[in-house]
Amino acid sequence: MRRAAERGAPDTPPRPGWVAGASSFTGPWWRGGGRDILAAMSLIHESHDYERGGTQKDVYTPDEVVEVPCPLCGGDDRTRLYTEYEVVGISRCHACGLIYTSPRLRDPEKVYWGDAESYLAEARLIFEGKAAHHRDPNYDEELRALEREKPGRGRLLDVGCNMGMLLRRAVARGWEAEGVEPSPPLASLARERLGLTVHNCFLHELGADHEGRWDVVALSDVFEHVTEPLAMLADARRLLAPGGILYVKVPNARWNLFKQFALARLGRAPRQGVWDAYEHVVHYTHETLLEMLRRGGFRPRRVGVGRPVQVPAWHLHVGHYYQYPSPWTLDWKRTLGRWACYQASRLERLVRLGSIGYLAPNVFAIAEPAGEAAG
């Protein structure tokens, strides 16, 4: 989990001069940005195909999807808002207002059960300690938020940890951290390449020795992938230690509505839409996320907006997805646009009297079990 799309390796790998060169994409664009641009140019023409490391497809057929009820209230009455991948639907529940994917893929989590070598190719330099991950600023921001709640650190369980990129940052900052990842190749990479403790299973499959053990259960860009969110919240409650907290960060559904509207008005609607509905099965707003948490037995302590993820642009230029930060100049319109909307979302929230609106890229919540007193 934790990426809108996994990109695999081209037939021709990056040239050794780039891998071992002076620029290894370890910092933001203003530090040695010229070297990063030159490194990017050295990759041009090495691949012309935008390959995928996961099992997702551009088009699905009716027999690959299934209609499902609302995962919040169980209602079946809904309005279709959009259709992606020919048959995957984004719908709004009439009863509770939750936006969710129906019809959806029968096993959406399996889009991450791709080829380990393809996943390795897009993050090799990170594993070798030669590059940063493009989400490291996001991960550090999230961990700082948790450290304000738990200044002494403690035990952190990263659910849906992918290849362990957030997990590695948590360990480096002094957390006693482990991960849960159902994808066999991703869990294997986290264990073998980063030396992390990662359980290759679903959350509900963790044994009784984990009950009441964890100070933090983190669902960072994961909860939107979960087909049975209330059941997952019950599992999280079971695993939390007394005084423990739950961290959830999800894409903001209102942001997707805004992008869908704006791109359509500009005549630039992407062929597959903006919802990533082949993998994202629930699309939360501020209000529906809090309602899901409350029905799952949690009391929100803090709600906010995290900085936007600046998705690398390598694939637009070299036909290959890398997880290293790309120079902002390679995709400057999107980079600046994301940042401007994020800043504007703060004013928008004031105008909306605290409700997170249409310009925020995500919503995060820190919550505690409802039966415990606020800390």
Mean pLDDT of the chain: 86
> What is the rounded CA–CA span in Å between residue 155 and residue 217?
9
* CA 285 to mean position of chain CA atoms: 15
- Domain span at 48: 16-369
Whether 174 is covered by a domain: the verdict is yes
> What is the rounded CA–CA span in Å between residue 308 and residue 334?
11
The H-or-E segment that residue 159 falls in is: strand 155-159
> What is the rounded CA–CA span in Å between residue 270 and residue 82?
12
> On the CB side of 158, how many CA atoms lie within 13 Å of its CA?
30
Report the pLDDT value the prediction gives residue 373, as an integer from 0 to 100: 52
Are the C-beta atoms of 313 and 134 separated by less than 8 Å? no
Whether 10 is covered by a domain: the verdict is no
371 — pLDDT class (breaks 50, 70, 90) = confident
Q: What is the pLDDT of residues 67-102, one digit of tens each?
A: 999 999 999 999 999 999 999 999 999 999 999 999
Whether 326 is covered by a domain: the verdict is yes
336-343 mean pLDDT? 96
Q: Please say if the pLDDT value at position 19 is more than 80.
A: no
Whether 5 is covered by a domain: the verdict is no
Pair type for strands 240-251 and 214-220: parallel
Report the pLDDT value the prediction gives residue 7, as an integer from 0 to 100: 34
Pair type for strands 362-369 and 240-251: antiparallel
Whether 242 is covered by a domain: the verdict is yes
Question: What percent of the chain clears pLDDT 90, i.e. is strictly above it?
Answer: 73
* CA 283 to mean position of chain CA atoms: 12
The backbone torsions φ and ψ at residue 212, rounded to the nearest 5 degrees and listed phi first, read 65, 20
| Cα four-point dihedral sign 190, 195, 198, 200 | positive
Whether 26 is covered by a domain: the verdict is yes
Q: What is the pLDDT of residues 221-273, one digit of tens each?
A: 999 999 999 999 999 999 999 999 999 999 999 999 999 999 888 888 777 77
Q: Which residues contact 166 (CB under 8 A, 6 or more apart)?
A: 2, 135, 139, 142, 143, 158, 218, 220
> What is the rounded CA–CA span in Å between residue 343 and residue 269?
24
Report the pLDDT value the prediction gives residue 16, as an integer from 0 to 100: 28
Q: Please say if the pLDDT value at position 345 is more than 50.
A: yes
CATH code, domain with 207? 3.40.50.150
320 — pLDDT class (breaks 50, 70, 90) = confident
Which of 177, 182, 237 minimizes the C-alpha distance to 205?
A: 182
Q: What is the DSSP letter of 309?
A: P
Q: Please say if the pLDDT value at position 10 is more than 90.
A: no
Angle (CA) 72-280-237 rounded to 5° is 50
Number of domains in the chain: 1
Query: How much is the pTM?
Result: 0.86
Kindly list the strands in the beta sheet with 176-180, ordered across the sheet, starting from the edge strand earlier in the chain. 198-199, 176-180, 155-159, 214-220, 240-251, 362-369, 298-304
Report the pLDDT value the prediction gives residue 6, as an integer from 0 to 100: 36
Q: What is the pLDDT of residues 30-70, one digit of tens each?
A: 344 444 433 333 333 333 344 555 677 888 999 999 999 99
Locate 347 and state its tokens: 């004013």
Are the C-beta atoms of 224 and 284 separated by less than 8 Å? yes
Report the pLDDT value the prediction gives residue 42, as an integer from 0 to 100: 36
Report the pLDDT value the prediction gives residue 314, as an integer from 0 to 100: 85
Whether 103 is covered by a domain: the verdict is yes
Whether 309 is covered by a domain: the verdict is yes
